[in-house]
């Protein structure tokens, strides 16, 4: 049977989404910098500005995606095209060296993503590209000093290519490239990248296993090469994915308009700091979060999503390779809301 253009696009998105680097939600706090002083209640003015700008850009991106309805609800709810997300994490205190005091951090994150997938009919190759932009507004203060605010940026491009080989076997190549800093300067140390490859195996209909490796400088650690293991199961009203190093997502469609989920996210990134920081020239954040989620479809593929829960965070500030402030918090929390569109 001849497939329509929207059906082919949906199929391309489904195949690419199986292995593309996820990055359902990225949460990043800033460092204490000498920047514009915020009002007494924290970063109210900057937060309002970030929300307004991100909302305007998000609406434009979703409209430019030219959403098309498809016949199968299952396809429409599993293939993200555009998403605007807001994340708030609890404040965290960092301890420094002797006599350096205690640094308190508070952050608000706006994340925007837009994706496109295409299947080449002659070769059967599937390609997927995602443009993303994360903007973090960080409020900070040392001991009882006034609050200060700073803004950090992470624009990036993500891509994945899938190629069927023989029978249930397939080949996967993926990559991410971007810049993470406060944008007050630029250097080679700001560049972040991930490049990886692996093989896929269709175990049974609806169940796929991906095994490979990737090279990355995004994670804070001494290992330049990380293994990649991904298990994807999609059948009926169940959508499950679990793997390393990205986490787990489990969704159950309780009716055509509501999905319930349980999410485990492992996110990490390093920011280069330029704007007059007194305590650091680099900020590293590693977080592992666990919490329930609900997704409500408003009209066709447009949805609202809310989530929240428990958060473990390892935060570190360093200057010239030496740690100035650091903490590991087991008492964190986060909340998030998203507006998006799925095929």
pLDDT tens-place string over residues 281-323? 888 888 889 999 999 999 888 999 999 999 988 888 888 878 8
What's this model's pTM, rounded to 2 decimal places?
0.76
Query: What is the distance between the alpha carbons of residues 151 and 230, in angstroms, rounded to a whole number?
Result: 34
Of 76 and 275, the structure prediction assigns the larger pLDDT to 275
User: b or e along 141-177 (b: 16 or more beta carbons within 10 Å of the residue's beta carbon)?
Assistant: bbeeeebbbbbbbbebebbbbbbbeeeeebebbbbbe
Q: Which two tokens stand for residue 8?
A: 């082919």
Nearest to 332 by CA among 150, 141, 33, 93: 93
SS3 for the chain is CCCCHHHHHHHHHHHHHCCCCCCCCCCCCCCCECCCECCCCCCHHHHHHHHHHHHHHHHHHHHHCCCCCCCCHHHHHHCEEEEEEEEEEEEEEEEECCCCCEEEEEEEEEEEEEEEEEECCCCCCEEEEEEEEEEEEEEEEECCCCCEEEEEEEEEEEEEEEEECCCCEEEEEEEEEEECECCCCCCHHHEEEEEEEEEEEEEECCEEEEEEEEEECCCCCCCCEEEEEEEEEEECCEEEEEEECCEEEEEEEEECCEEEEEEEEEEEEEEECCCCECCCCEEEEEEEEEEEEEEEEEECCEEEEEEEEEEEEEEEEEECCEEEEEEEEEEEEEEEEEEEEEC
Of 139 and 197, the structure prediction assigns the larger pLDDT to 197
Instruction: Output the average pLDDT for the chain.
Output: 78
Q: What does the pLDDT look like over 54-97, one tens digit per residue? A: 555 455 444 444 444 334 444 444 677 899 999 988 887 776 65
Read off the pLDDT of each residue in 264-272 and give the average, rounded to a whole number. Answer: 87
CB 184 within 8 A of CB 272: no
CA 144 to chain centre: 33
Domains of the chain, by residue range, sit at 5-342
| pLDDT in the model for residue 29 | 39
Is the pLDDT confidence value at 18 over 80?
no
Query: What is the distance between the alpha carbons of residues 196 and 215, in angstroms, rounded to a whole number?
Result: 6
Read off the pLDDT of each residue in 34-38 and give the average, rounded to a whole number. Answer: 38
Nearest to 169 by CA among 128, 228, 127, 211: 211
Read off the pLDDT of each residue in 326-337 and give the average, rounded to a whole number. Answer: 86
**Upstream peptide bond of 245 is cis (omega within 30 degrees of 0):** yes
| pLDDT in the model for residue 40 | 39
CB 154 within 8 A of CB 26: yes
Is the pLDDT confidence value at 27 over 60?
no
What is the pairing mode between strands 247-255 and 169-179? Answer: unpaired
| pLDDT in the model for residue 67 | 42
CA 79 to chain centre: 16
Q: What's the pLDDT band for 328 if we cut at 50, 70, 90?
A: confident
Of 251 and 38, the structure prediction assigns the larger pLDDT to 251
The number of residues making up the chain comes to 343
Nearest to 60 by CA among 161, 125, 131, 6: 131
| pLDDT in the model for residue 323 | 81
Is the pLDDT confidence value at 236 over 70?
yes
| pLDDT in the model for residue 55 | 56
| pLDDT in the model for residue 10 | 53
Query: What is the distance between the alpha carbons of residues 273 and 31, in angstroms, rounded to a whole number?
Result: 8
| pLDDT in the model for residue 242 | 94
Q: Which two tokens stand for residue 57?
A: 């850009």
């Amino acid at each position: 049977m001849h497939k329509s253009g929207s059906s082919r696009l949906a199929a391309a998105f489904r195949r690419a989404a199986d292995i593309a680097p996820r990055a359902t939600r990225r949460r990043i706090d800033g460092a204490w910098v000498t920047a514009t002083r915020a009002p007494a209640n924290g970063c109210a003015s900057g937060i309002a500005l970030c929300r307004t700008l991100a909302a305007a850009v998000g609406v434009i991106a979703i409209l430019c995606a030219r959403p098309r309805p498809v016949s199968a609800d299952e396809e429409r709810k599993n293939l993200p095209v555009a998403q605007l997300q807001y994340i708030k994490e609890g404040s965290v205190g960092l301890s420094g060296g002797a006599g350096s005091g205690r640094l308190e951090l508070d952050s608000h994150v706006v994340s925007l993503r837009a994706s496109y997938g295409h299947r080449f009919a002659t070769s059967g190759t599937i390609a997927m590209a995602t443009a993303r932009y994360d903007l973090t507004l960080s409020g900070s203060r040392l001991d009882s000093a006034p609050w200060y605010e700073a803004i950090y940026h992470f624009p990036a491009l993500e891509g994945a290519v899938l190629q069927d080989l023989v029978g249930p076997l397939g080949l996967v190549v993926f990559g991410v490239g971007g810049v993470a800093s406060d944008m007050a300067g630029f250097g080679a140390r700001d560049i972040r990248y991930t490049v990886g490859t692996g093989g896929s195996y269709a175990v049974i209909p609806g169940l796929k296993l991906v095994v490979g490796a990737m090279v990355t400088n995004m994670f804070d650690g001494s290992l330049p090469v990380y293994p990649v293991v991904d298990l994807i199961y999609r059948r009926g009203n169940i959508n499950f994915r679990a793997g390393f190093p990205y986490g787990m997502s489990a969704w159950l469609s309780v009716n055509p308009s509501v999905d319930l989920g349980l999410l485990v996210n492992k996110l990490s990134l390093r920011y280069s700091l330029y704007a007059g920081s007194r305590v650091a020239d680099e900020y590293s954040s590693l977080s592992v979060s666990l919490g329930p989620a609900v997704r409500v479809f408003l009209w066709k593929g447009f949805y609202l999503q809310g989530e929240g829960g428990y958060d473990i965070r390892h935060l570190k500030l360093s200057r010239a390779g030496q740690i100035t402030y650091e903490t590991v918090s087991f008492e964190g929390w986060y909340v998030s809301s998203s507006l998006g569109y799925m095929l």
